[in-house]
Each structure stands twice: as structure tokens, then as C-alpha cells.
Structure 1
Amino acid sequence: MNSRNEGTMSLIDTFSRTLVPIHREGWPFIAIAGFLTILLGWFWDPLFWIGLITTGWVCYFFRDPPRVTPIGDGLVISPADGTVCMVGSAKPPLELDLGSEPMIRICIFMNVFNCHVNRAPVSGVIRQIVYTPGKFLNAELDKASEHNERNGLVLDTPRGAVGVVQIAGLVARRIVCFVGEGETINAGDRIGLIRFGSRLDVYLPYGTAPKVAIGQTMVAGESVLADLSAPAGSAPMTRVA
């Protein structure tokens, strides 16, 4: 192979490794943005460039990069990209049938620049999935877990039931779930997506010691939230003001 061909192959390889896969949920939005870009650009050139930037952002929003999930008995993995906004004890949503006693709750807030593909925090069997219509309050507020539109999953594991709740926010208006009741899933598997900003809550058996702090940045499918196999300990309620 001559130097020119080698250079071309190297460029193609670099380009392919740089590209991030886009989730199929995003293609309709990308198509609409692309069509409007061409249409508006037909009437006025500056609108074309504005539309092109917007289309690029839509592609970026629906990115679905591969993730390498840590392997370990009892590890709880972050279900979302974003920032930890609450850590501590809280009663689980009534619709999940996880009882009335407090559990350990870890909340991850996703802004519009985070990857919004959600992943399973633990391996287990999906006992139930419950969708609850509601409001669209700021997802960073504590009351959002009770009043906002949400979709909750309960996963049965050898170390107890774990709840994960997709919560809509101010901008988010559509929660998508990829899995069904009775399915067996592994930690890090894709379970859903929330369009345009939102929050994920994870409910763990009381006494589980969180391994994260408020303000810490999470990577879905990779960052460790807690370890169910670790000795039980107290976890007092702490949250942002």
C-alpha cells in the first residue's frame, strides 16, 4: 500500500472513531431539523447556517456512545450522565410498591448537553414498570420526584429490590422506555431515554452506603453509585438547597 492510500485509510479510521452513534429515537428530529434548515435557507442564507448549527446540536443531543460497565457483585452503576443533585434517605414513590419505609435515594440531574440515553443501574429482573403522568417542574427540585411526569422501574436482584425512576423536567416532555416487565437485564444495558433535560432517581435498600457526593459528575453505564455488597451503614439525608 502506497503512502497516499495509507494516509487515506488513516484519515477514514480516525473519522470513524471520532463519530458517535446516534440513537434511533433521534433520527425523526434530525430529519425535521435538516428539512427546516434547507427550507429556511432557501429564503435567506443566514437562516441556513443557524439551522445547520441547530441540526448539529440535535445530532449531538441524541448521541449514544458505547460505555464500558464495571463488573462486580453488588455494584450500582449510574443510569444517567449528569450531576448528582441529591443523596440520602427518602420514601420511594407509592406506585412502585416498594413499601412506605425510607430507602437510599441518589438523584442525577441531566441538562440539555448531557447524553440522555438511560442505562440499568443493576442487573436483575424487571418486576414492574409504572408510568405516572404529572407536572413539568424543575427536575432539580425535591418535589419533582412526587409531582412530575415519570416512569418507574423496579428491578429484583439477589440483594433486594432496586427502583429507578425517569423524571421529566421543565423542558423534557417525552419519556421513552426500551424495556418491558419480566425482562432480565444487565447493569449498563440501555433502558430508556428522556428528551431534552430531566432527572433519574435510584432507590436502594436502606443502609446502602453511597459512593458519590452532591455535585459529582456521573457517566451513565460507567460511574459507580454504591455497592450493595458493602457492609450496611447509615446514610443521612443530604440535598441541595
Structure 2
Amino acid sequence: MTKLSVNINKMATLRNARGGNMPNIIKAARDIEGFGAQGITVHPRPDERHILYQDAYDLKEVVTTEYNIEGNPIEKFTKMVLEIKPTQVTLVPDAVDAITSNAGWDTVTHKDYLSEIITEFKRNGIRTSIFVDPEIAMIEGAVATGTDRIELYTEAFAEEYAKGNEAAVQPYAACAQRAHELGLGVNAGHDLSLDNIRFFKENVPHLLEVSIGHALICEAIYQGLDNVVKQYLQKLA
């Protein structure tokens, strides 16, 4: 089955809005793993408006499944990842003031930059993934960086699928197939939800892992976290 990694950023956003430690991020991660999720994802940003850098360190001590840290590899982020040594680091080219991730890497233009960073992470035993748009050229460019995986940026699919355009999945299927042919693992994330995850999984081959945060946490407000995690696992089976 495709693995589910739950992004807990939005839980940290809720905590930070009031101060204190409610909801407790450590307990949330433990509970989510207990409900069956196969990974925990965090995406610390420079302004620490949701996940704090300290959260990332603290979670290292409790996550027993796969631990995925996402972010733009600025100096502070890179230092943190090398110290924590998570299962996977996902490189995302988000601007400092970005509300959320909104584009993948140009793996051709930034080949040398990405290659240098990826080499260092892999030297330290950390699996690497690059956040990319569903374009064959970007998949082929990713191979040259030495990355282990790519993560397909799925916002465009989610928007079109909600309008009834099932053909929007085709570029993702083609990119996943090409990545597999080139020896890259395939992850995906951004705006995947209970409404679209089964269709995406059934139509995109070789899908190893999805990272889902915003939709999952929103759905859990109405349906309960345990219930929602289990629904995702059923749809990804």
C-alpha cells in the first residue's frame, strides 16, 4: 500500500495561536502513529509560525515510524536536518513569506545547488526527496541531482478534480511512471484529501508515500482524528 505521512503543522498553528501546549504536538504525533499512520511530517519555516525548530528536535525522540522534515534548505534548516537525521528530508523552494508551498523546484536551473545539498544529506544517511511540478523535464532533471525520490506537487490536480476534471491526473501518472523508469521513488502531496486520495492513488503508479496535513486536520475537526486517519489508510490500501 501507499504509506500515509501525516503533516502536523496545522496542529502547531492552533497551539501557537493561544500559547501554551494545547494541542500537545508530541502527544499528537504519538496518537497519529497509534492510529496507524506510517509517518509524521513537519515543515518548519523561518518565522516558526507553526512547527517550531524545537518541535522538530523533540519529535525525533518520539517518532517511531518514518520522520519526514520538509523545507527550503537555507542554512538554519540544513543544520537542523543534519543534527536530527530524520528518515527523509523533502526539499521545497518556498519563499520566506509564502503562506504555503506553491511551486516545485526547477531541477534543471538549480541542479548544482540541489546536488550539493543532496550529497551532504545522503552522506549523513538521510533519504532525500525534491518537491516538483508534474513536468517530465523536471523529473528528468531531478535524476541528475542524485535525489532518492521526488514529491509531486498535487495542488493543480486537486483543484481540477474538484471541478470534475478527472483527466487532471494524467500528467501525474506520466511523471510517476517516468520517475520509476529512472530509478526515483515517487511521493506526492498538497491538497490531497478524503475526496480525491483514492482516485489519485488508483491512477498514479508506483506511489510510495503521500504527505497530507491541512485537509486531514480539517476533516478531523468534524470526524475525529482516529477515524480520519483510518479512512485514509483504507483508501490507500
Tell me the TM-score normalised to structure 2 length. 0.24
- The structure showing larger relative contact order (alpha-carbon pairs under 8 Å, at least 6 residues apart) is 1
The structure with the largest alpha-carbon Rg is 1
Indicate the structure with greater strand content: 1
Tell me the TM-score normalised to structure 1 length. 0.24
Indicate the structure with greater helix content: 2
